[in-house]
Amino acid sequence: GESVGLHLPTLSVQEGDNSIINCAYSNSASDYFIWYKQESGKGPQFIIDIRSNMDKRQGQRVTVLLNKTVKHLSLQIAATQPGDSAVYFCAENRRAGNQFYFGTGTSLTVIP
C-alpha cells in the first residue's frame, strides 16, 4: 500500500505486505530528515534518518528514500506487522536555527 501523506492521511495494509508512506517537505535548505513513529498517547520514536547527501538509507525492515529534486521523502516498511500500526511523521531539519519541523503525518493500520 502507498500514501501521499498530505492528501491521504490514512493507509491500511494487510499484514505481511510492504508499506510505503510518503512525505513532501517544504524547504530546499533542509539537509537532514528523520522518520518518526508515534503510537497513541506517546511521544515520537526515532525510526531512521537520512542526510541530504544521500538518496537512500536502509535499516531493519525500513528504507528511506530522498528525492531532493522534488523535495520528497518516502518510508518503506517491509513485511508490515500489526505492531507497525501507528502514525508516521517525517521531520526536516534546517541547519540555520537547528529546529525540526514535522510533516502532516500518515496513520498506518495493519490488518491481521
- Nearest in space to 20 (alpha carbons), one of 28, 30, 8: 8
Q: Three-state SS for 83?
A: helix
What is the CA angle 102-106-107, rounded to 5?
130
> DSSP alpha helices (H): ranges in the chain?
none
- Considering only 34, 62, 67, 96, the residue that binds another protein (CB under 8 A) is 34
Nearer CB in complex with another protein: 90/110: 90
Contact track, another protein, 83-112, x by CB under 8 A: ------x---x---xxxxxxxxx-x-----
Q: How far apart are CA 32 and CA 51, in angstroms?
A: 4
Distance CA(75)–CA(22), nearest Å, equals 6
What is the total count of residues that contact another protein (CB under 8 A)? Answer: 22
Nearest distance, CB of residue 9 and another protein, angstroms: 8
Task: Give me the least distance between CB of 22 and another protein, in Å please.
Answer: 15
Residues of this chain that bind another protein (CB under 8 A): 32, 34, 36, 41-46, 49, 89, 93, 97-105, 107
